[in-house]
Structure 1
Amino acid sequence: MRLIPLLSAWLLCVGAAQAATTTPAPMNTGTRLDHILLWGRGIDQVTSVMAVKLGFQVRPGRDPGGVANRYIRLSDGSFIELLGITRPDPAFDPGMKQDQEALKGGPGSRTFGFRTSSLDAIHTTLQALHYAVTPFFSGPDGAKPGWRLFAFDHAPLSSNTFFIDYAADYAPDQFDPGNADDYRVTREHPNGARELSAIWLVSGDADADRRQLEKMGFGHAVPVKLPEVGATGFCIPVGPTALLALQPEGPGLAKRVMAGGPRILGVSFGVADLERARRWVERGYEGKLASYRGLSGESFLAPTQDDLGLSIEFHAMEPDNLPCAATKASHDM
């Protein structure tokens, strides 16, 4: 699946957040966080970091016009789309150009997607709330159904976002029922990663993002603090996943990242064996990493900011762990 040609002209433009002045829409129970778009210094550089240092399996993509993409797909259906420039004069569309300007040509991410089974209803609701939503786009090219999405003419959040849905029989990896084992293996990773559990946004005003998310139908925000990165803000449940709206609090990683402007500060992954994941990352970065009790339970933070422009958190998968639930319990004590 190649999203960038259709997405970026709409999703990667920076817009001011709209004021939340209406009653929140109903909670979108059929919605979850789907993926992020992650730019590297080059496609081979970001692939090497994700595979060698962090232990992910990276799948091939395409390279039309000098911007290549590759994929890290997880067993919960989520993924990361890796992007890299492959020639001196890439055929940027306006969105790509704006994204690269915001990142100053460096690594990082500033766009993420929601996956929903209620795409038409959410589009209608957001229109009624006076959001400047785009028409629907669909792909890939061809007669067979694939995916549909819409984005925003003006970004309502500090980082850009879109809503996407996939056809029931859509198979981006050319799935053949006779090769079920091959398909399954593409979702297995040496580090044991199984799920995308959270995306961390950082801006100068976490409450502005919280208000916009509430207006869009994602309420039940819980106050949080992330001392590991020097941030404070809110945890907002999105189906089985969590969106963190954060801002810097004192010196720390969040403040250093925000010097380059609002963006995605980090991503959390649930792993089957936390110690195995930590051993892999410690070998990759040649140093010991401390664990901590994070928002999703026992966790550690990979030192990826210099390589990727965002942080990667790994945490142990806990049975029946609802997003933001542990945070709420701690806050209520």
Structure 2
Amino acid sequence: MRLILLVSAMLLCLGVVRASPSSPAASPTRLDHILLWGRGIDQVTSVMAVKLGFQVRPGHDPGGVANRYVRFADSSFIELLGITRPDPAFDPGMKEDQQALKGGPGSRSFGFRSSELDAIYRRLKRLNYAVTPFFTGPDSAKPGWRLFAFNHAPLSSNTFFIDYAADYAPDQFDPSNAGDYRATREHPNGARELSAMWLVSADADADRRQLETMGFGHAVPVKLPQLGATGFCVPVGPTALLALQPDGAGVAAEVMAGGGSRVLGVSVGVADLARAQRWVERGYERRLTTYRGLSGESFLAPTRDDLGLSIEFHAIQPGMAPCADAGI
């Protein structure tokens, strides 16, 4: 069921981001994007743009489920999804996702991106993972992306692996006009990168073990008092995947009690933390405090009621390895 949701979301994704030609070569594997459902496409767009200060890019609206994008300079993105009519053409995966989210906002799916997609696929098959065949899009005559998913999700949240053709042009990118490309990745809040994704479940160690088997080892134990969570920080190329579980009262326990395993939140690196903080404080009309997080000085935006997940903003620290500040 979940597989169909992933493939449908990818078919919506006609403008998937690629790094500009001048960008440095990326690591073979990294975290790519999450699929974030809103209460409606305009609701989630308004929260991301007005309250949080992101630039939101257009998408498509086939069958009553629309998508839009928040794209980052590091080539990652957040895909926004929303229902646009009373009788949307849900496939079974979308229906399952909405049932799990109880019609509310949130995310249950995320993707890894790798230039070694075939090697990863062969390895996972040898390990007896229930991987699907490859899917391609957006045009079968000249596919721009390839992905595979799992018939049975190995992690507490659903995942897939994806890669993009070298000549696949993202939205509105003309190679002769790199300025326009850069402008679509510039945000009023100064966001530059999607540095981490956070999974929450009842058993963080189960996710850690699965990630290690899948090839993502070197987990570091972490304790996050700002979320009431404990678990592990797992490096994935230049990004980090947090496998968490509730640790007493707090956000993690509340999320688990209200809907179970899902993407608990994401970390976003910004060029100017004070500017991002001022923007979010204006958007939510409340004062916010900073703390020392896994990525350095950070603050937590109060987005859980609006988006069904938390967004942490942190100051970018050039050259800092993922999970470098982790450890209990």
TM-score (norm 2): 0.92
Instruction: Spell out, residue by residue over 1:208-243, the C-alpha distance to the aligned partner (whole angstroms, 9 max, x if none).
Output: 000000000000000001100100000000000000
In structure 2, the partner of 1:7 is: 7
Residue equivalent to 2:293: 294
Tell me if 1:63 matches 2:54.
no
1:288 is matched by which residue type in structure 2?
R
Q: Deviations over 1:78-115 (max 9, x none)?
A: 00000000011100011100000000000000000000
Which residue in 2 is equivalent to 1:258? 256
How large is the Cα RMSD of the aligned pairs? 1.5
| Deviation at residue 183 of structure 1 after TM alignment | 1.1
In 2, Cα distance between the equivalents of 1:237 and 1:6? 24
Q: Name which of 121, 139, 149 aligns with 1:123.
A: 121
Gaps of 5+ in 2: 11-26
- Does 2:123 correspond to 1:157? no
Cα distance, 1:7 vs structure 2: 1.5
Asked if the contact 1:202/1:246 (under 8 Å) is kept, the reply is: yes
- 1:5 deviates by 6.6
Contact 1:71/1:82 (CA < 8 Å) preserved in 2?
yes
Residue in 1 aligned with 2:267? 268
C-alpha spacing 1:143/1:5, structure 2 compared with 1 (3 Å): farther
Q: Please say if residues 271 and 315 of structure 1, whose CA atoms lie closer than 8 Å, have aligned partners that are also in contact.
A: yes
SS at match of 2:210: helix
The answer to whether the 8 Å contact 2:110/2:158 transfers is yes
* 1:23 counterpart residue number: none
2:318, 2:61 → 1: CA distance?
40
Separation in 2, partners of 1:51, 1:169? 30
1:1-333 paired onto structure 2 within 5 Å: 7-8=7-8, 30-259=28-257, 260-328=259-327, 331=328
C-alpha contact 2:270 2:315 (8 A) present in aligned 1: yes
In terms of mean alpha carbon deviation, does 89-98 or 319-328 score higher? 319-328
Question: Matches of 1:37 and 1:116 in 2, distance apart?
Answer: 18
Note the C-alpha offset of 1:143. Answer: 2.7
The alpha carbon displacement at 1:144 in A equals 2.8
Alpha-carbon shift at residue 152 of structure 1 (Å)? 0.1
Q: Percent identity?
A: 82
Deviation at 1:180, TM superposition (A): 1.5
Task: Name stretches of at least 5 consecutive residues in structure 1 with no aligned partner.
Answer: 11-28
Structure 2 residue aligned with 1:16: none
Q: Is the 8 A contact 2:30 2:237 kept in 1?
A: yes
* Aligned partners of 2:5 and 2:92 also within 8 Å: no
How many Å apart are 1:319 and its aligned residue?
Answer: 1.6
Residue 145 of structure 1, CA deviation: 3.4
Aligned length: 309
Letter in 2 for 1:158: S
Deviations 1:104-142 (A, max 9, x none): 000000000000000000000000000000000000025
Using the TM superposition, give the Cα deviation of residue 177 of structure 1 relative to its aligned residue in structure 2, in angstroms: 2.0
CA shift at 1:179, angstroms? 2.2
